[in-house]
Amino acid sequence: MTVSETGSASLDIATEDERIAGLVDLVTVADSTTETIPVEAPFDGERIGAIPACGEADVELAVERAREAQRSWAERDIAEREEVLSRFQDLVLDRRKELLDIIQLETGKARRTAFEEVQVVALTAGYYSHRGERFLGREKRKGVMPVLTDVEVNHVPVGVAGLISPWNYPFELALSDALPALLAGNAVVIKPAEQTSFIALKGKQLLEEAGLPADLFQIVTGTGPDIGPTLTETVDYVGFTGSTATGRIVAEQAGRNLKKCSLELGGKNPALVFPDADLDRTVEGMVQGAFSNTGQLCIAIERCYVHEDIFDEFVDRFVAATEELELGATYDFKPGVGSLVSEEQLEKVTAHVEDAKASGATVHVGGEARPDLGPYFFEPTVLTDVDLDMDLCCEETFGPVVSIYPFSTTEEAVEEANDTDYGLNASVWTSDTEFGRDVARRIRAGTVNVNEAYGATYASIDAPMGGMKDSGIGRRHGKEGLLKYTESQNVAVQKGQGMAPPDGVPFWLYAKLTSGALRLFDKVPGLR
């Protein structure tokens, strides 16, 4: 693995400090809030600023302001809401350098991965800005009595959506979830991860510049245990992206308060490589799928199952490609791998690898921290001989670590892929795409890619994305990702005869005639 040269690819920290300090003013705080939480840059561990440590009063104030603003926003034409998203897309693309700088400063990720965030937010804004009327407009449905019963379905905004977003993709997972909620006529209150709140605040600033009413999009900063419960209790909808353990807590709180919720949680994602796979393409895609964002990606590949006929060749090629990855703490597009986000994350990744090594796993490349690059760097790591007794085998590592296993039959591969409590993402690698589709349908995961690691499903915004099993409930993207922020309302207009027997008709005769009509309706095309 090579190390990137810093050269001119550094950031003017003084300028960034100024920029970031101004964003703090966008946090919703009550007069009594004075405590702050320091924020550091993972590249060097240095403090870059501080955010307010919000409490219950701040959350209640944010929700109150959002609820007031939502009433008039919901009355606006859908086309007006679409225009805000369209202008926001332009601003995201125009200001991408500034956005990339802030994302890297807060997360320590490689700039290539930061660009993925900007790209997906722009894609999401563009997608929904053209589909509001199509997805939210009144839908005609069949009435119980043809001609006499007119039925329509309206999609009514839930009110205030509360979103709890993570640190690994802080711009994308805050804004991409907020955009459809806003288009649906809701207000949004976001609690971003305390490590990465500044980029969410920058998103708020751009939305308001695009024409979004100021109070409609509120941000409260602080820790989950301090303000998460209050947020869940006071909003009308809860969206959470993060660990399965925390997701269970959020789901319990939402359920106790009878709030709708969606949860995108952890994954221990498998890849299945069949003997006819194009190994050049597969290795390239798998390296991206395993080590993008230094493996801190819920849909990243952590388990790789390779057919025994090509196992040795694949391992050799995959290890060689991993060795070529460039690590670096720079603000240019040269490095492919950046830093982990924190000491806590470094400790978890290190513990998984050390446990595997002590229990007999073979490390082919990597396996060590790199303090020479920065306090939280860890080498991309490839292991074999990993078994069920190792933490690495079954627990989500959320770092640049992948384990490779041989298989002999398709049935065995599918069984191994499904042998997990998680079901978020998977990939299948084969030259026979119809065979790949068939295998994909047998894998219990919310998204399955054929000859791609995760980008094909995730970037196809028109299709829903989410998890099965312990990987969550609900979906983002597509029509489903918009309508989840609404309540379906059935409105029926009855003309002429009502739903009871006409005057003077005995009920026995009414029942007989109605039964006959039901039989007729079922047999006549167009009336069913």
Provide the annotated active-site residues. Answer: 264, 298
| Cα(162)–Cα(185) distance, integer angstroms | 14
Closest CA to 427 of 293, 269, 281: 269
Q: Identity (one letter) of the amino acid at 207?
A: L
Q: How far apart are CA 146 and CA 370, in angstroms?
A: 72
CA atoms of 245 and 4, how far apart (whole Å): 36
Cα–Cα distance, 135 to 488 (Å, whole number): 12
**Measured CA distances, 194 to 107, 126, 164 (Å):** 11, 28, 11
Burial class (CB in 10 A: 0-12, 13-18, 19+), 350: middle
**Strand pairing of 2-3 and 425-429?**
unpaired
Q: 97: buried, middle or exposed (CB in 10 Å: 19+, 13-18, 0-12)? A: exposed
> Looking at the chain, how many residues does it have?
528
Handedness of CA 237, 239, 244, 246 (dihedral sign): negative
Alpha carbon distance 359, 345 (integer Å) = 22
Place of tokens 């034409």: 77
Q: Map residue 71 onto helix, strand or coil.
A: helix
Backbone phi, then psi, for 423, in 5-degree steps? -160, 60
Residue with tokens 């026995």: 508
Q: What φ, ψ does residue 284 adopt, rounded to 5°?
A: -60, -45
52 to each of 21, 25, 26, 225, how far by Cα in Å?
Answer: 11, 10, 11, 15
